[in-house]
Structure 1
Amino acid sequence: MNVDALAALWQEVTGEPLPPVTFTGDEHVLPGRYRVAHAAAVCVAATTLAADAGSKVHIGHAAEAFRSERHLRPPADLWTPLSGDYRTADGWVRLHANYPHHAAAILRALGVPEDGVRAEAARRRAVDVEESVLAEGGAAAAMRTREEWLTDGPGAAIRTEPLVAIERIDETGQRDSVVGAQRPANGPGPAALAGVRVLDLTHVIAGPVGGRALAAHGADVLHVGAAHLPVLEQLVLDTGFGKRSCHLDLRAEPDRLRALVSGADVFLQSYRPGALAAKGFGARDLAAMRPGIVVVELAAYGHTGPWRDRRGFDSLVQMSCGIAAGDPPAPLPVQALDHATGWLAAFGTIAALRRRATEGGSWRVRLSLARTAEWLHDLGRRDDVPVREVDVRPFLDETDSDFGRLTHLRVPGARIRPAGPRRPGRDPAEWW
């Protein structure tokens, strides 16, 4: 495997030359025209190296981690019947209906019951379906070609954003010789992130994958949800390893979140840009509450372009940016934009913690699914060779959880064996 992509990523994020790294296994373990396994190996290697967790990466293990939900036993079904690709009068559109309120928005936008959606979509232009669903608060994406994405869409603007943007946002946090609250960088403790407290305000896949990776390297990750918000239990099963889970209603209990922020090292969130800032929890607000904090922000369609406020998910971004272009659409074999962005978020978090330790200040890390898509596009295409199936048995484990005993894929490079996922809201909203 060529390490040029990893070396470039490492240099861009850390400012340092790439340390020695060894890849084993074969890149040709996933179908499709994009180099998804290569991307997976790069993301896992960057995070593992940053966490001082070794210099060997198995490409097959990394690739399977990008579809970790498929290895859960009991199995998890991630898609509702209404979610999927629909032929339109001029092409295709994808509807995302895994959350009940998004399904309801689709039905309102199209003015038909669920069994009439396919026929109604076929009567309309793809962009018209997309715009009407978005206007109702739903999630949809018309299929675009690469050229349309770069000229008529936000692609050109998104390409100007760094893949992993790291900036110091406040200098009041004093330089600290520790990575976490108590532990020095690189130990002591079971892992490099022992003592690091992470507030995880993310949902779906990308953000939770990032939190899971940080937990696998020793961080104390507290996921913050709310009892009134819908949860996809299948994804909690996959991404909840190593985390505690509390409920907190921001509408009525902002002071409780402020109390948690005051004791946190990392604030990881995947709300749409500006949503938390409107509630008083923007990056600079957080730096004022807790000087020295690292704020990690994930978005779908970038942080600066014309679609920055647009609701999006991995499968929708694939449709929008030309990755899935075809008749019918040809999506990636895994939700690689989600998983890659999550792993890159973990890498960026560790890099920012180390910058804080040497330079002081509070830091912001920004990533987006769409920018990750551009990076994947730039990796080129894979050779047209037969796919070699990975024997995942060496990478599987069994762990007890609040949902029973689970068979699951181990997090590649993990320095500890994280506890199993916990039911949403079962823990108090406080640090240990």
Structure 2
Amino acid sequence: MTAKLIRELGAGVGIALPEVRVVGEDPVLPSVFPLGTMAAAAAGALTAAVAAYAGRIGRSDEEGSGGRQPVRGAYGDPDVTIDVRHAAVAFQSERHFRTDGKAMDVWAELSGDYRTSDGWIRLHCNFDHHRDAAVRALGLPPGSGKEDVGRACAGRTAVEIEDAVIREGGCAAAMRSRAEWLAHPQARALAGLPLVGVSRLSGRGGVLGDLGTGLPAGIERPLGGVRVLDLTRVIAGPVAARALAAYGADVLRVGAAHLPEVPGLVVETAFGKRSCRIDLRSEADRLRELVRQADVVVQAYRPGALRAKGFGPDDLAALRPGIVCVDISAYGARGPWASRRGFDSLVQMACGIAHENGDGLRPSPLPAQALDHGTGYLAALGAVAALLRRVAEGGSWHVEVSLARTAAWLDDLGRIDGAGVPQPRVEDLLATMDSPFGTLTYVTPPGAIDGTRPRWTSPPPRQGEHPAAWAPSS
């Protein structure tokens, strides 16, 4: 099943992938959802796409009815493998991450599930302004604690609280059943969208130079020379850029001092990257200079937010013809919830996953932030597919993914008897690296091409450690 899913993912983004040898099978993680299959398909498709790109061979076929045929990449006849257990554990990477042996706590005090008068609500309060919005929405004074929030939630309906928190600019999701979600207008808006949208942007564009037929540093660094701007926070986007860095891309993460971060996560997702700071409120021209020399821009602001600042896909393509723009959102770019803030745990609640993964009486989240990681790997797949298609067809490209659409894909994969499965062993999948933060223990990236595994060659940097400039050798 996994190999077939990988072929389908390749076809969906318009490229023909080399065959992938899949090692292992579900169940791997304790869930009724086939998370191992999902993880192996997403990570395996990325690995295969990178193998195709490594060959630096692309073609388009305009024969027949005039329709585009899949781009084909080749680096000899690559042996591409993906291990199901490794991929599943990689989807839990933040859970296994250690700094000098200490695990990180990613949840703020008020983040969590609360019983309501008719069900459950999840509040996401990891950022202070989201916490304050939730407290205001519940009519509580600043500084209220978890018990205060619990009492306030108990007297109101889940959807009532959800609406109130969203109006205040916060993040919340009522627990819905699968049937309730499928009947929701947002689910219907997503139903016709591709899992990974890859489309050519209109206007000027072309192949950005001859990429040749060889690799500067061999198959170990197949994305060497590809410049990626990472404008993301909180798992899905950072995972996408981190995955590209594992294959040799030059990833420059752009943050800002005034934007909140989850301290542990910003470190765990920064392997192989450099980090700079640009305040778009006053330094937009600095970002434009970086875009002019970039190949890929990955962003996870709410749909339309960067466009309003002059950095929408068409704006980026005008600055850098041939750019690949990767947009990641919570609920998709269309429908009544398109502009709604969201995170993995909230999408699990809204889409019926937290309801079905347990007994239906109280939320039971997946044993991994699988929507975040899955969307991250799919975003990286879309980026590499667009790079391949740029070589063959020219033009600038737009990639769109969302957590909610990934949730629909997971739903489509069916169910397994995995609820009582123990957590997988992980010791052989971990490595250590010295860093400015101490000795880091982390999950190695999954996949292999001709026996060579992706890897990160540098530890996570301190935020803003580097200048807002591309590395001279990239």
Give the alignment's TM-score, normalised by structure 1: 0.96
Query: What's the counterpart of residue 215 of structure 2?
Result: 187
Provide the rounded CA distance (Å) in 2 between the counterparts of 1:224 and 1:385: 40
CA distance in 2, matches of 1:185, 1:279: 38
The question of 1:365 aligning with 2:399 is answered yes
**249-258 vs 69-78, greater mean Cα deviation:** 69-78
Inter-partner Cα distance in structure 1 for 2:456 and 2:279: 31
**Deviation per residue, 1:115-167 (Å, 9 max, x gap):** 31000000001011011111111100011122221223411111211100001
Equivalent residue runs for 1:296-311 within 5 Å: 296-311=326-341
Q: Give the CA deviation at 1:174.
A: 1.8
Instruction: Tell me which moved more, 20-29 or 253-262.
Output: 20-29
- Contact 2:445 2:454 (8 Å CA) reproduced: no
Tell me if structure 2 keeps the 8 A contact 1:209–1:342. Answer: yes
CA 1:284/1:185 → structure 2, altered by over 3 Å: closer, same or farther?
farther
Are 1:102 and 2:124 matched, yes or no?
A: no
- What SS is found at the alignment partner of 2:302? coil
Report the 3-state secondary structure (helix = DSSP H, G, I; strand = E; otherwise coil) of the residue aligned with 1:193.
coil
Note if 1:62 corresponds to 2:62: no
Are 2:12 and 1:23 equivalent residues in the alignment?
A: no
Report the Cα offset of residue 59 of structure 1.
0.7
Q: In structure 1, which of residues 124, 142, 155 is the aligned counterpart of residue 174 of structure 2?
A: 142
Q: Distance in 1 between matches of 2:49 and 2:203?
A: 24
Deviation by residue 1:344-381 (Cα, 9 ceiling, x = unmatched): 01111000001011111100000000000000000000
Matched residue, 2:6 = 6
Q: Is the 8 A contact 1:28 1:386 kept in 2?
A: no
In the TM superposition, residue 170 of structure 1 has moved relative to its aligned partner by 3.2
Is the Cα–Cα contact under 8 Å of residues 177 and 185 in structure 1 kept in the other structure?
no
Aligned to 1:88: 116
Q: Offset at 1:14?
A: 2.7
Is the 1:177–1:358 contact (alpha carbons within 8 Å) kept by the matching residues of 2?
A: no
SS at match of 1:274: coil
Instruction: Give 1:262's match in structure 2, choosing from 285, 292, 301.
Output: 292
In structure 2, the partner of 1:50 is: 49
The aligned counterpart of 1:38 is: 37
CA distance in 1 between counterparts of 2:2 and 2:464 reads 44
- Aligned twin of 1:202: 232
CA contact (8 A) 1:106 1:136 kept: yes
- Distance in 2 of aligned mates of 1:338 and 1:2: 19
**Aligned match of 2:162 in 130, 134, 137?**
130
- Give the Å deviation of 1:81: 1.8
Secondary structure of the residue aligned to 1:3 is helix
Q: Secondary structure at the match of 1:44?
A: helix
Q: Are residues 1:170 and 2:209 paired?
A: no
Match status 1:271 vs 2:329: no
Q: CA deviation at 1:406?
A: 0.5
CA distance in structure 1 between the partners assigned to 2:415 and 2:209 by the alignment:
43
Residues matched between the structures, number: 427
Are positions 1:411 and 2:445 aligned together?
yes
Task: Give the TM-score of the pair, scaled to structure 2.
Answer: 0.87
Question: Given the superposition, is the C-alpha separation of residues 185 and 78 from structure 1 closer, same or farther in structure 2, using an over 3 Å criterion?
Answer: farther
Residue 432 (structure 2) aligns with: 398
Deviation at 1:321, TM superposition (A): 0.9
2:209 and 2:429 mapped to 1: Cα distance?
35
* Alpha-carbon distance between aligned partners in 2 of 1:201 and 1:129, rounded to the nearest angstrom: 31
* Contact 1:197–1:265 (Cα < 8 Å) also in 2: yes
Asked whether the equivalents of residues 176 and 358 of structure 1 are also in contact (C-alpha less than 8 Å), the reply is: no
**Aligned partners of 2:255 and 2:464 also within 8 Å:** yes
Match of 1:111 among 139, 149, 153: 139
The amino acid across from 2:46 in the alignment is T
1:72 aligns with 2:97: yes
The DSSP-based 3-state class of the residue aligned with 1:23 is strand
CA offsets 1:365-421 (integer angstroms, 9 cap, x no match):
000000000000000001357525433222111112221110111111343433110
* 1:431 and 2:430 are equivalent in the alignment: no
> Counterpart of 2:366?
332
* Equivalent in the alignment of 1:244: 274
Give me the whole-angstrom Cα distance separating, in 1, the residues matched to 2:44 and 2:396: 26
Q: Which runs of 5+ in 2 are unaligned?
A: 55-78, 448-452
Task: Describe the SS at the equivalent of 2:440.
Answer: strand
Counterpart residue identity of residue 10, structure 1: G
Conserved? CA contact 2:185–2:335, under 8 Å: no
Q: Which amino acid aligns with 1:175?
A: V
RMSD: 1.5
Cα distance in 2 for residues equivalent to 1:128 and 1:73: 39
Aligned-partner residue type, residue 415 of structure 1: P
Counterpart residue type for residue 94 of structure 1: R
